[in-house]
Chain A
Amino acid sequence: MQFMLLFSRQGKLRLQKWYVPLSDKEKKKITRELVQTVLARKPKMCTFLEWRDLKIVYKRYASLYFCCAIEGQDLELITLEIIHRYVELLDKYFGSVCELDIIFNFEKAYFILDEFLLGGEVQETSKKNVLKAIEQADLQEEAETPCSVLEEIGLT
């Protein structure tokens, strides 16, 4: 997978993950172009399109579009499953996820994605394992928190 974009129906970008090194300018250009193309498509249309030399696979969940770019030989259907799996993970983690969850906890959304995909490849196919890893990492954060509160007040 080359990159993954999440954007709203209004075309606002909610999350972006690039697995290929590109300059910011290039990223912006691609994002703008893709958001326009995908939003222009009608709901009853198939959700694959050929774009430049890549294939774009997208899916809409409520007000959010999940959009992935894959190479010619990659499989569209499995990419759809990846998207779906990611949405399931978000759903489990946030408890019936909505767009606002992702906006306000966007770093969490990234952490989950990073546990699920690495370098554009699926790293963990088991939902349980992904969530377990996230929970434990969060636990570790919490364990650190009291100390950081003290730190914040400047008592350390």
Chain B
Amino acid sequence: MALKMVKGSIDRMFDKNLQDLVRGIRNHKEDEAKYISQCIDEIKQELKQDSIAVKANAVCKLTYLQMLGYDISWAAFNIIEVMSASKFTFKRIGYLAASQCFHEGTDVIMLTTNQIRKDLSSPSQYDTGVALTGLSCFVTPDLARDLANDIMTLMSHTKPYIRKKAVLIMYKVFLKYPESLRPAFPRLKEKLEDPDPGVQSAAVNVICELARRNPKNYLSLAPLFFKLMTSSTNNWVLIKIIKLFGALTPLEPRLGKKLIEPLTNLIHSTSAMSLLYECVNTVIAVLISLSSGMPNHSASIQLCVQKLRILIEDSDQNLKYLGLLAMSKILRTHPKSVQAHKDLVLQCLDDKDESIRLRALDLLYGMVSKKNLVEIVKKLMSHVDKAEGTTYRDELLTKIIDICSQCNYQHITNFQWYISVLVELTRLEGTRHGHLIAAQMLDVAIRVKAIRKFAVSQMSALLDRAHLVASSTQRNGICEVLYAAAWICGEFSEHLQEPQQTLEAMLRPKVTTLPGHIQAVYVQNVVKLYAAILQQREQAAEPEAAQDVTQLMVERLPQFVQSADLEVQERASCILQLVKHIQKLQAKDVPVAEEVSALFAGELNPVAPKAQKKVPVPEGLDLDAWINEPPSDSESEDEKPKAIFHEEEQRHGKPRQPEADEEELARRREARKQEQANNPFYIKSSPSPQKRYQDLPGVEHIPVVQIDLSVPLKVPGMPVSDQYVKLEEERRHRQRLEKDRKKKKKKDKERKGKPRRRGSLHTESDEDIAPAQQVDIVTEEMPENALPSDEDDKDPNDPYRALDIDLDRPLADSEKLPVQKHRNADTSKSPEKEDVPVKERKIKKPKKKEKKHKEKEREKKKGKEEKPSKHKKKKHKKEKEERSKDKKKPKKKKSASDGAAEPVENGALDEDPLPPMSSYCLLAENSYIKMTYDIQGSLQKDSQVTVSVVLENQSNSFLKNMELSVLDSLNTKLARPEGSSVHDGVPVPFQLPPGVSNEAQFVFTIRSIVTAQKLKGTLSFIAKDDEGSTHEKLDFQLHFSCTSYLVTTPCYSDAFAKLLESGDLSMSSIKVDGISMSFQNLLAKICFHHHFSVVERVDSCASMYSRSIQGHHVCLLVKKGDKSVSVDGKCSDAALLGSLLEELKATLAQC
């Protein structure tokens, strides 16, 4: 026995160790696999030895082989043997092998439980450590359940080395055995404050990982983490905490507000890029989550953008990449701040690194505007030419199309340019995105009527060169554009200059090499062209020429009849028969053109995606009822549903089926026309689109400069988009000049008027660029008698849906914003901002009405001659004036309830800036403080008003202990906290550092509201600066006007009329002379300052309504004469009306 042992040991001396194995493998490069299988055999022998050292050596070698990709799962049991060795050296190797190759499916793993438990409680910290490390890699649910308690105990081990490992591995245990989380969590939380920084950071790590997945459960830890964040200097830990906060802020906006400051401080101070970047990221996340709650964080955004710019400008590609990545996050919420760095992003397009270029492309998408679109696309086009890889080039192509088509072609002002860009893109060989280009061509040609002529000329040129496109690129997708080209040329054949030529191009033999679905479109559209040519020739009384075309068709169509594609074959044979029939008729000198073109009469309008949904269910139709008896259960087994419902083949833009016989078709067509004529949602087609636009409201006063189309229309060879760029520039220039001229004129007229908003004549903002084409994008057609419901128009996921709130309704107490007590420095401005939109809506109403009115008028006139009467001209000018302020009208019009089928101008439309108005007026001011105030009533409380006072510290001192005291009158009293006497003041609930302003609110109770009142009061405060503190006072007089008791309340015209008829209102009038302000603005002023709303407006006459907090109705009829305004008022209380009109008079006198 002993001899055998000795012999084994001597053999063992010749065993390979790991180094030998590695060396051996390196020396057997040619027959590596053979060598290794030989080694594995040796290892198998070694594993049979009793010596643990031999086994460990073998396992070590196996671990190496496992890395090379060899299966060692057969040795799992041997690995466990080595794991349980008493010596650390072997144990370590065993655990390493286990951690590399054990996984949940390893069956022997359950044998390890006791061994691991033993090692965990080993007196040697290294045994414990190695067991923990191994366990972290192969922990299974069973192991986690059985060992959770042991590991939890280790979290309180005396050695930090063990504690930190135990803490970290707890995360893996939680994942496998979630039940352990609750019992272990208190201890884990304790570890956040462990004296050892390593343990602390481990605990932060684990909790951050947990919290990232389920942030809401960890909100309560926020204060603790906040403390850690401000105290820790370890960047690794800081980054984790900041990341955690990024996950928490969306749930708790207040946390975000608190974070901004320390984070911006860190951004300023840190030199570590990773920390900086994480801070920037979190600030962005915070700002996104706060975007509604916080009025203004432009400073933080600016800081982030600045820092990111530095990253992007860095020579390190990684930083560049990350900078762009973070930039795109900002872009989503603060596009303006990013747009300022367009130069930088464009620069990145030139980068050598494709991943950076792709990032830059993503950014560009959000940065385009009307002004820079052409420039950006030009740049992208040049990149398309240079791009080496097809993936990148395809990416560029899709981006160009995305950028141009986004938001309903919002940024395109010149569609000729766009079509030529698309045509230029067809030069790309080997792209997969031919269908994208084709879809765009179709979309533009169908929806932008004014461009059809141009599009057709371009498309026919494309078809002419079809052999080029087809032969060189048939294998790839670019030939898809021919699909679009053929359809456009056929459908809009009336615009073709040389239809015969195009017809011949489409009948070339080469065409038969195109994919089937394209040929099918060719065949169909050849007939359309044919019909157009027949018509033309018959009208020109050239029967022979007409017969020639028929002959051409008869000769060429058979090539399609032979097509292998069923669709092509079928269409072609039908058509061939038809043409042969026509030929016979022609031989008898029967005029046929009329009937042939009747096949394609009627216009094809784009259909809205939601049209189907909007079709009303006819009365008496129950969609849920069975049409046939339901199949019995026994049948349904062998009968597949397919037999009942035909699966319709989804064909892309299949034009229409020429099935029904002509008479039937004609009848249907007639019926359709009738219906369309009566349908307000349908856009009637008129023979000349150009003329139509002039009739449309809201379009004719766009300063349109007609492009001289005669020159560039027929471009020989490829159109070059640059050409259109130049044209567009010229156009804009002319437009600008014209505008300047007009402005000057106006200025001369308006000398004495108010200063204009924008002085500089040469800066051109985005909105100033009017679209070139008499562009209207035809909106999509809705079914006849579509349900007028607006609800299904809205996407349920639309983030703005929540904003669908009636702004006119007075705020209920429960709705009141709770923030006022915490306002910060920006508040002095914010109230105005908040007030403005409310007001704006109010003025819009009359505009809409006025518009409709005008439309009607115009329609009446249309019956007569189109000659613009003097009266009309005047109106136009006026409208133009309005328009210069409010360019964006059409969209608003669209948002009106009936907007379904009205033409929409391209582009989304922003809110129009308003002349700043504030309801806050000065209360009192001294060198320390400035007080402004506003009084609001609420319909819910008939004897209360709220006075909001904005206090602005104008000094360098710190103002505190502010207290407001008022001398009450019999009628008006300040509401004081309970238990205080009438002489006590009311403390202001905040202090004011230098330069800061904040708003405080005070409630007053009122008995009678029919007369205005003034209350005297004093603000006392302590001003503290470096030299000491002083007691200061500021006296003021609060003016409670009768207007402040009015609450803006909307009123419908019928209710308004009833109210006036009722006869229980007393009446009074005023008249003010010398008014220069436009009626529009006048109404706006009355609405804003006197809390009225417009009920109806007809020309220069408007009825308005408001209601007092005690329920008095106040009705006004405002009439504007030449330089004067008269106001007739009716109110349920004569005294109140008198006071109100006096106040109104004072306001109007200033206009």
User: Complex: how many Å from CA A118 to CA B494?
Assistant: 74
For B273, list chain A residues within 8 Å (CB): 77
User: Complex: how many Å from CA A137 to CA B322?
Assistant: 40
Query: Nearest residue in B to A145 (C-beta to C-beta)?
Result: B89
The answer to whether A28 and B236 touch across the interface, beta carbons within 8 angstroms, is no
The answer to whether B22 and A103 touch across the interface, beta carbons within 8 angstroms, is yes
Residue in B18, B88, B318 whose beta carbon sits within 8 Å of that of A104 in the complex: B18
The answer to whether B67 and A78 touch across the interface, beta carbons within 8 angstroms, is no
Residue in B5, B161, B168 whose beta carbon sits within 8 Å of that of A121 in the complex: B168
Which one of B353-361, B363-371, B625-633 contacts A?
A: B353-361
Q: A21-B138, A47-B318, A48-B355 are in contact. Are A122 and B205 (CB under 8 A)?
A: yes
Residue A62 at the chain B interface, CB threshold 8 Å: no
Q: A76-B318, A137-B92 are in contact. Are A104 and B22 (CB under 8 A)?
A: yes
The answer to whether B274 and A81 touch across the interface, beta carbons within 8 angstroms, is yes
Question: Which residues in window 18-67 of A have CB below 8 A to B?
Answer: 18-19, 21-24, 28, 42, 44-49
Interface string of A124-156 (1 = CB under 8 A from B): 111001000100110011001100100111100
The answer to whether B168 and A111 touch across the interface, beta carbons within 8 angstroms, is no
Which one of B129-137, B403-411, B806-814, B927-935 contacts A?
A: B129-137
The answer to whether A107 and B126 touch across the interface, beta carbons within 8 angstroms, is no
Residue A114 at the chain B interface, CB threshold 8 Å: yes
Which one of B6-14, B427-435, B445-453, B1114-1122 contacts A?
A: B6-14
Residue A15 at the chain B interface, CB threshold 8 Å: yes
The answer to whether A46 and B317 touch across the interface, beta carbons within 8 angstroms, is yes
How close is B740's CB to chain A, nearest CB, in angstroms? Answer: 48
Residue B1084 at the chain A interface, CB threshold 8 Å: no
Residue from B68, B237, B321 whose CB has the most chain A CB atoms within 10 Å: B321
Residue B172 at the chain A interface, CB threshold 8 Å: yes
How close is A2's CB to chain B, nearest CB, in angstroms? Answer: 12
For A98, list chain B residues within 8 Å (CB): none
The answer to whether B354 and A45 touch across the interface, beta carbons within 8 angstroms, is yes
User: Complex: how many Å from CA A63 to CA B354?
Assistant: 24
The answer to whether A151 and B53 touch across the interface, beta carbons within 8 angstroms, is yes
The answer to whether B164 and A78 touch across the interface, beta carbons within 8 angstroms, is no
Q: A45-B355, A140-B88 are in contact. Are A77 and B321 (CB under 8 A)?
A: no
The answer to whether A122 and B19 touch across the interface, beta carbons within 8 angstroms, is no
User: Complex: how many Å from CA A141 to CA B129?
Assistant: 14
The answer to whether B96 and A107 touch across the interface, beta carbons within 8 angstroms, is yes
Q: Give the size category of B's interface with A.
A: 35 or more
Tell me the total A-B contact number using a CB cutoff of 8 A: 159
Residue in A28, A103, A110, A118 whose beta carbon sits within 8 Å of that of B169 in the complex: A118
Query: Nearest residue in A to B316 (C-beta to C-beta)?
Result: A46
User: Complex: how many Å from CA A75 to CA B198?
Assistant: 20
Question: Which residues in window 407-444 of B have CB below 8 A to A?
Answer: none
How close is B1140's CB to chain A, nearest CB, in angstroms? Answer: 60
User: Complex: how many Å from CA A44 to CA B89?
Assistant: 43
For B89, list chain A residues within 8 Å (CB): 141, 144-145, 148
The answer to whether A107 and B63 touch across the interface, beta carbons within 8 angstroms, is yes
User: Complex: how many Å from CA A44 to CA B234?
Assistant: 31
Residue B79 at the chain A interface, CB threshold 8 Å: no
Query: Nearest residue in A to B73 (C-beta to C-beta)?
Result: A24
Residue A13 at the chain B interface, CB threshold 8 Å: yes
For B92, list chain A residues within 8 Å (CB): 107, 111, 137, 141
Residue in B18, B161, B172, B243 whose beta carbon sits within 8 Å of that of A133 in the complex: B161
Question: Which residues in window 944-971 of B have CB below 8 A to A?
Answer: none
The answer to whether B68 and A13 touch across the interface, beta carbons within 8 angstroms, is yes
For B904, list chain A residues within 8 Å (CB): none
The answer to whether B355 and A121 touch across the interface, beta carbons within 8 angstroms, is no
Residue B309 at the chain A interface, CB threshold 8 Å: no
How close is B203's CB to chain A, nearest CB, in angstroms? Answer: 11
Question: Which residues in window 489-521 of B have CB below 8 A to A?
Answer: none
Binding site for B on A (CB under 8 A): 13-16, 18-19, 21-24, 28, 42, 44-49, 73, 75-78, 80-81, 103-104, 106-107, 110-111, 114-115, 118-119, 121-126, 129, 133, 136-137, 140-141, 144-145, 148, 151-154
Nearest 9 interchain pairs by C-beta:
A77-B274, A46-B317, A154-B9, A119-B136, A46-B321, A45-B353, A114-B133, A141-B89, A118-B168
A-B contact pairs, 9 of them (CB 8 A): A19-B137, A49-B355, A77-B277, A104-B22, A121-B206, A125-B234, A141-B88, A145-B89, A151-B51
Q: Beyond A13-B69, A45-B355, A123-B198: 12 further Cβ-contacts under 8 Å?
A: A18-B137, A21-B103, A44-B353, A46-B320, A47-B317, A47-B318, A118-B132, A119-B137, A119-B168, A125-B234, A148-B89, A152-B9
